[in-house]
Amino acid sequence: MSERINARLSRPLAEFVHRMVGEAGLYETPSEYVRDLIRRDMERRDGPFVQDAILAGYRDLAAGRVFASSGNFKADMAALDELLMRPKNEGE
């Protein structure tokens, strides 16, 4: 479901948006341009978190902290939680 949001722009901002849309611009409509700006901002803000999670996964792999996936995400997460809650000397 979409929601309409209106925004007032100063003349210089509006002129810039008009240069970015249409036949001479990169976008077909001002709405397309604004949606792209918002998506990029979301990626920029969330990007470090995602990169950190990926790096943590690589570090776990390099350290041998792996387990075989069953193909069922929920079951795998439950098994991983159980594994992480187990005292370190119990599995040895």
Tokens of 14: 């509006």
- Name the CA radius of gyration of the chain, rounded: 23
Per-residue pLDDT tens over the stretch 6-64: 999 999 999 999 999 998 899 999 999 999 999 999 988 887 888 888 899 899 899 98
| Tokens 């929601």 sit on residue | 3
- What are the start-end ranges of the E strands in 1-92? none
- What is the pTM (predicted TM-score) of this model? 0.53
Tokens of 46: 């969330």
